[in-house]
Amino acid sequence: MVENAWGWLIVTYLFLAGAGAGAFVAAVACDLLAPDWSKTLAQAGSLAAGPLVAVGTVCLVLDLEAGLWQPWRQIYLVSNLSSGITWGVIVLSLFIPVAFLYAAALNEITAVGRYLKKYVWHLEVVGSLLAVSTAAYTGILIAVVNGVPFWNTPLMPVLFMASAMSTGLAVAMIGAAIIDITTIRTLSNFALGHIIFLAVEALVLILFVFMSLTRSVEAAISANMLISGVLSPYFWVLVVILGILVPFALSFVEYYEYGAMPKYLVVGADLLVLVGGMSLRALIILSASPPQVV
């Protein structure tokens, strides 16, 4: 019996799509709320969003079989509006071009970008809606299947959304540090974003795991795999300690010791958020256990 059909390509897609969507939202938030001093962050977020989601989508396509060898079959992917994947294909096909156009417009890249400059606000509104849809959809995709009881909860999209926002902010902050290392001081302002998103993520994760323990026998099997079973070292070390607690503490210090934190710790905290986001998705996919049918 085939119990786990999805593997690392899908995990990578879930992570990259979430991080890309989050980076887009971070860029829009910076551009709208503080265009004067957070320019680099908006720049980095907008430049990262499109490519991340596009690479994620490539992973999704690589996971196909007949649809990969005979790509024209992919035209059928929009045939069934009751399927999460059909909606995902529609959202991704709209979001990827909008994200690239936004990057071009915000950074005035090429003639298209210069022309679109006056429509930046429109791209921000439409793009943000699509980015939120992309981030939520990665959670909804796996939440709506009753073949894996562990995933089958409305908390799943909330968890993925919180993780998407924190990984997206991390991507934008790392990008900003790469573009201009002197902005690292002003990044301290955004540590508040990490504090909020990581706190929400931790809260939803606690709810998710504890509720899974009592929700059904199968969900409890998966949850136990994470907290005390074969996957527990990865869960506690990569997701809880390195992915949430350490970056949370670092962001806290960063925010209150404005600009005083060494730059490798600022970027380190962001890298840890990414490690945590990827590990979270991997563990949720790998801990899937099917309904007990007999």
Partner 1 sequence: MSRYGLAIDTTKCIGCHACQVACQNQNGLDVNQQFNWILERERGKSPSFDHEFIPVQCNHCESAPCQRVCPTAAIYTTPEGIVSVHPERCVGCKYCIEACPYKVRTVDHHRGIVTKCWLCIDLVRNGGEPACVTTCPNQVRVFGDLDDPQSRLSEFIAEHRAQPLRADLNTRPRIYYKRS
Please report, as ranges, the residues that interact with partner 1 according to CB under 8 A: 1-3, 5-6, 63-70, 73-74, 76-80, 82-86, 89, 142, 144-148, 288, 290-291, 293-294
Residue 238 has which token pair? 């990569």
CB of 277 to partner 1, least distance (A): 21
Based on CB atoms, which residue is closest to partner 1, 182 or 214?
Answer: 214
CB-nearer residue toward partner 1: 5 or 33: 5
Smallest distance, Å, CB 210 to partner 1? Answer: 23
Max CA distance (Å), the chain = 63
Residue 34 vs 94, nearer CB to partner 1: 94
Integer Cα distance of 10 and 145 in angstroms: 15
By C-beta, is 147 or 259 nearer to partner 1? 147
Q: Where are the beta strands (DSSP E) in the chain?
A: none
Minimum Å gap between C-beta 117 and partner 1 is 37
The DSSP secondary structure of 227-259, one letter per residue, reads: HTSTTHHHIIIIIIIIIIIHHHHHHHHHHHTTT
Q: Rank residues 61 and 125 by Cβ distance to partner 1 and give the closer one.
A: 61
Query: Residue 85 CB, nearest distance to partner 1 (Å)?
Result: 4
Q: Which of 210, 282, 206 is nearest to 240 (CA)?
A: 206
Integer-rounded Cα radius of gyration of the chain: 19
Q: How far is the CB of 100 from partner 1 (least distance, A)?
A: 24
Distance from C-alpha of 213 to C-alpha of 271, rounded to nearest angstrom: 31
